[in-house]
Amino acid sequence: MIVHSTLLQSDPIHGSLGEPSLSRADLTPAQQFEFDQRNKKPIHYELSDEVKDNFNSIKMAEAIVGDDMQSPDDPDQIAKNIPVVPYYFAGEEDEEEETRSTRESIRAAEKQLKKRFFINAKEERDFSKMVSEGRISAADLNFQNDIDEEVEPIEKKRERAAKE
Residue 155 lies in a domain: yes
Q: Which residues of 8-46 are buried (b: 16+ CB within 10 A; e: fewer)?
A: eeeeeeeeeeeeeeeeeeeeeeeeeeeeeeeeeeeeeee
138 lies in which domain range? 119-164
The 10s digit of each residue's pLDDT in 93-105 is: 888 888 888 888 8
pLDDT tens-digit readout, 48-96: 888 889 889 888 988 888 888 777 777 877 777 766 666 677 777 888 8
- Report if residue 68 sits inside a domain: no
Query: 154: pLDDT confidence band, cut at 50, 70 and 90?
Result: confident
Helix ranges (H only) for 39-80 are 49-65, 75-79
Per the structure, how many domains does the chain have? Answer: 1
Question: Which residues, at least 6 apart from 131, have a Cβ–Cβ distance to it below 8 Å?
Answer: 141
Whether 63 maps to a domain, the answer reads no
Is the residue at 148 inside a domain?
A: yes
Domain-located, residue 33: no
Comparing CA positions, the residue from 35, 41, 11 lying closest to residue 22 is: 35
- Evaluate if pTM is beyond 0.95: no
